[in-house]
Structure 1
Amino acid sequence: MTEFEAIDALLASAGQEAPLPPAGERRALREGLNLSRTQVARALGVSPSTVGGWESGRDPSGAIRERYSYFLDGARDKLREREAERNAGADTGGAVAGAGSEAGPGPDDAAGDSRDGGADEVEVLGAPRPCVLCGAPARQQVAGFPQHLDPADCGTAEPPAPEPPASGPEGPDLEEPERAGPGSAVPAEPQAVRDSGSGRRGQVRVVPAGRRMRAASAGGPDLIGRAVAAALARHEGDVEAATAALVKRAIPDAMALLDESRKGGRYDVVAHPWIPDVLRKQSARGADQIWEARPKWARAELPPGVHEVTALDVNGAYLSALKTHLPIGQLEHSAGLPHDRRRAGVHLITPPVWEHAGVLPNPIGNRDEPGPLWVTEPTLRLLLRLSGPRYGLCEAPEIHESFTSGATENLLEKFRVALKEARDRAIAEDDEVTLEYVKAMYSKFVSTMGESNYNRELYRPDWMHIVRSQAFANLWMKAFKAYEEGLTPVRAMGTDELHVIGDWRRVFPEGRGVAEVKVKDVYHVGEDTELPDE
């Protein structure tokens, strides 16, 4: 085959990709049919966060694009049929009523209206409101009362909550249901409530959920335990083979755990938002413009004499750093504004002068170039904290511009706790398979949530930088704690290594737990010795 024939064959084999509507219409089509992302994801064989990414502007490709396009076309046709049926029913009902005949319920009456004899209209809410039956957000209301029309949804699944407004920190609380006015048809009390008296069957145990109460959960599925058990069974008890298989699938398993942990969450995870240029790589193998403030510090001078130095290893640094202020929605630009603690993102700042490099690392790490730089939320918050009256170690940084969104510190908390509990159990039971699996899950989750070919379900480079910077900030605070308690910090590196002189056990608990440290090395330094190479 000649070169031109090869090109002709390539052009002949190239097919036109299935068309997709704009991102906003995709979500509207799904919500118009009262379908959750989980339902659509299950039908298409993907995760709910992947569907969320498509609804935020990312396009699938290949066979999955064909299936998604087929679903959207079918949803559009279904909604058109419903609209045509409503219009036809309204015309028929109007003609019969005008002739003086007895008219039955019209098509605009709710499906449940025929059950209670009312003619109340079902309204689709622009934002979810608490169901008057179970308290969980509902997207429809009848006679002014928000409620789930499908009994399977009532009290069991929480529809996606709206993203917070650009001007608010975490978005407003969901509105309370309107009080029934005179003559209002109050929905029937659910069976679980009627049977909740002392000694009756069908009691529902409830627990506080913010200012409301919700049904107590019996605990989610143990996805980690199931995966480990299945891998060991598949490899007939071969620990090395099972561990290798689990580590290989750590990324998709971490995303599945994230989806499970977000069930009932107040906010949807915005998995594929618009990202400003400062968070985009400048070249294929280059980096973006964000400075993570990674410490790489060694003390220049020590008191005379020979000293014993202990190199401490901080356990689960990235796991602890998952508890940090993360922006929920799409980042928005601002300039000339003071820091708003209710928001989080990345900030262009001029850092303050650091005059304590002889005894403590610079909070922004080792940076030789002067002038403004882009830092993440944890770095800015650490600098603002150190500039306050409690510490007084530096001046406040100057903020020039920011890209932020409404923030919460608990967005990944259930995910983090699930991993921590599995890690704790594995240590207690000397289960190295689970321990390596969990470590791979949280470390790869952090490293691939940015621009990565290994994780297509989550594209949040801002989160990646923020979590990493939080780990660095946590290490800096441990160095400061050692200094405050009379130890001599000698070196701080990366996210998990701190070298100190002195009785460190009275300051830091020793062990393998996330809140503990373990000894990595012990060496001596003094007049005739040198600090070890990096």
Structure 2
Amino acid sequence: MSDFDAIDSLLASVAPEADLPERPVRRELREQAGLSKAQVARALAVSPSTVAAWESDRDPAGEVRTKYAYLLDGLAAKLAPQPEPAEPAEPAEPSPASPPTTTAQAAQDTNDTNSTSGTNDEDDDVETLAVPEPCVLCGAPAGQRVAGFPQHLDPADCATAAPQAPAAEPAPRRTRPEAPALRTPRAEARPGDRDAGPRKPPTKRAFQPQSGPPDLIAETVRSALAAHEGDVEAATAALVRKAIPDAMALLDETRKGGRYDVIAHPWVPDILRKQTARGADSIWEARPKWTRPELPPGEHEVTALDMNGAYLSALKTHLPIGQLEHSTGFDHDRRRAGVHLITPPHWAHDAVLPNPIGQRDEPGPLWVTEPTLRLLLRLSGPKYGLCEAPEIHESYTSGATENLLEKFRAALVTARENAIAEDDDVTLEYVKAMYSKFVSTMGESNYNRELYRPDWMHLIRSQAFANLWMKALKAHEQGLSVVRAMGTDELHVIGDWRRVFAEGRGVTEVKLKDVYTAGTPLTDDDPTGPGAAD
């Protein structure tokens, strides 16, 4: 090869980067097409968090940029408003009949058309899905993927398909526009509309029903049962195995149109990193492990209660939205959340209530989470006055909201309640696996690489512990004797617990776990026994 050939080869390899629309337009195109970040990520071989970054603060480069630009151009072409066909001035010559062009076929290159038979050879780009996925047009389950997009082959099966009137000629095939054109909603044409002039935009009405995400959980369960021919055990096992990616897909779906973008892989301080491969980080979660040192005199019937959906309820907690920032000082900003280095207050009520920071052997400062700090501040306030306020030395926090995962939590709660009402153990086990594995793998885990938020993991766990502690306090204030508090969901009490807690399987109710006897029967010689003097 000559020097000039080498230079020509080098110049040929240097091509201008593909143009991309503005970042808000990228997100709008994806959402209008009904695609999740996970779907786009799979097509481009990247993570959903990378797609989120492309829609907020970064641009791709290299080959993946070209692929991403091609996808966005294709979405813009599909979502462009359809022009009304012009009325022909003269009757057109009859032409050989051809089948109507479907949305999937329109996405293929015109060279795919079989000119000999007059039909479209769509089987080349059609992939049959083992588990149906949401159609990119209507969101309903579709059993095929066409040109990389799940969708219905028959327009009649698509929820967006409207009855088609016979047309004189098929609409011309559309080429990609130079700039992305966003879809705008249009009202259906009515007689006389053409002469009515510009239509006044409809008034935004109050108290209209909110459109939510498709019922991904029910659709996935139905698909799993169908794939395993009704074998409940096999379907349940398959669903539990894919609980982590399915939970991430549900999170992505419920975050559409959200006020805040989730930062999936932010920088985290060293205190949130494991010091060794099998070790722990520096955060103390305040896990309860307490048994009452002494029972009241006499023999007692103790009831062990189980708190339903502890981690599911704990998804409603103040979570930091962005990257954690360092600060020092005693002041606590309730608009922010994170982890805090504190000196905990002295606890003088171990005889009847567990310590809010759990059983800790070493004195001195420790790193606690937002729920633990808020619980201590609440107990030190004028309403309870059970301890002094903790001393805050330094913090890592970010702007926070309590409702960041609320739609995600609500979807899981609804699915759980429906499963209980219908005695559907498959869905119940699937939902439980989704939220429990979601919480346990969002830290340093090889099972979930789409979300790395060890701060969230600690905060959600601590919120579950704080919720159990508040139930213990409620029982104590209502005259029950608290005997034991363990983990996230175990509370043992003496007394009529049904007047304090609602019994049932709902997330706000408790279940009876066990009943046992503890203590020593009183004797006549006992000063507090039945033979004691009045």
Q: Is TM (by shorter chain) over 0.5?
A: yes
Instruction: From 361, 365, 368, give the equivalent of 2:361.
Output: 368
Structure 1 counterpart of 2:49, one-letter code = S
Which residues in structure 2 correspond to 1:277-356 (within 5 Å)? 277-356=270-349
Partner SS state of residue 442, structure 1: helix
Structure 1 counterpart of 2:512, one-letter code = V
Instruction: From 430, 454, 457, give the equivalent of 2:450.
Output: 457
How many matched pairs? 380
The 2-side partners of 1:477 and 1:190 are apart by 59
Contact 1:33 1:75 in 2 (8 A): no
Change (3 A) 1:440 1:54: farther
Whether 1:152 and 2:183 are equivalent positions in the alignment is yes
Which residues in structure 2 correspond to 1:133-282 (within 5 Å)? 150-152=181-183, 191=199, 193-194=200-201, 206-207=205-206, 216-282=209-275
Structure 2 counterpart of 1:457, one-letter code = E
Whether 1:467 and 2:484 are equivalent positions in the alignment is no
Deviates more, 1:519-528 or 1:319-328: 519-528
Contact 2:307 2:510 in 1 (8 A): yes
Instruction: From 477, 480, 502, give the equivalent of 1:484.
Output: 477
Cα-to-partner distance string for 1:340-389 (whole Å, 9 max, x where unaligned): 00000000000000000000000000001010000000000000000000
Change (3 A) 1:68 1:441: farther
Where does the alignment leave 5 or more consecutive residues of structure 1 unmatched? 1-25, 60-66, 80-147, 156-188, 197-204, 209-214, 530-534
Contact 1:56 1:270 in 2 (8 A): no
Residue 526 of structure 1 corresponds to: 519
The 1-side partners of 2:47 and 2:254 are apart by 13
Contact 1:206 1:216 in 2 (8 A): no
Structure 2 counterpart of 1:525, one-letter code = A
Contact 1:44 1:68 in 2 (8 A): no
Over the aligned positions, Cα root-mean-square deviation in angstroms equals 3.1
Tell which structure's C-alpha radius of gyration is larger. 2
Residue 160 of structure 1 corresponds to: none
TM-score by length of 2: 0.66
Where does the alignment leave 5 or more consecutive residues of structure 2 unmatched? 1-16, 31-35, 73-178, 187-196, 523-534
The 2-side partners of 1:264 and 1:206 are apart by 19
Residue 158 of structure 2 corresponds to: none
Structure 2 counterpart of 1:255, one-letter code = M
Structure 2 counterpart of 1:415, one-letter code = F
The 1-side partners of 2:61 and 2:250 are apart by 24
Change (3 A) 1:74 1:259: closer
Structure 2 counterpart of 1:34, one-letter code = V
Instruction: From 373, 390, 395, give the equivalent of 1:397.
Output: 390
Contact 1:446 1:464 in 2 (8 A): yes
Whether 1:382 and 2:375 are equivalent positions in the alignment is yes
Contact 1:251 1:441 in 2 (8 A): yes
| Offset, 1:469 | 0.1
TM-score by length of 1: 0.66
Change (3 A) 1:528 1:454: farther
Whether 1:506 and 2:499 are equivalent positions in the alignment is yes
The 1-side partners of 2:62 and 2:365 are apart by 46
Residue 26 of structure 2 corresponds to: 35
The 2-side partners of 1:288 and 1:306 are apart by 43
Structure 1 counterpart of 2:201, one-letter code = R
| Offset, 1:509 | 0.4
| Offset, 1:190 | 8.4
The 2-side partners of 1:403 and 1:190 are apart by 54
Partner SS state of residue 424, structure 1: helix
Partner SS state of residue 476, structure 2: helix
Partner SS state of residue 341, structure 1: coil
Partner SS state of residue 222, structure 2: helix
The 1-side partners of 2:185 and 2:397 are apart by 35
| Offset, 1:255 | 0.4
Change (3 A) 1:425 1:502: same
Structure 1 counterpart of 2:381, one-letter code = G
Change (3 A) 1:73 1:195: closer
Residue 127 of structure 1 corresponds to: none
| Offset, 1:217 | 3.7
Residue 106 of structure 2 corresponds to: none
The 1-side partners of 2:264 and 2:198 are apart by 36
Contact 2:21 2:180 in 1 (8 A): no
Contact 1:53 1:457 in 2 (8 A): no
Detail structure 1 runs of 4+ shifted over 6 Å in the superposition: 53-59, 74-79
The 2-side partners of 1:472 and 1:486 are apart by 22
Residue 88 of structure 1 corresponds to: none
Cα-to-partner distance string for 1:467-509 (whole Å, 9 max, x where unaligned): 0000000000000000000000000000000000000000000
The 2-side partners of 1:55 and 1:299 are apart by 53
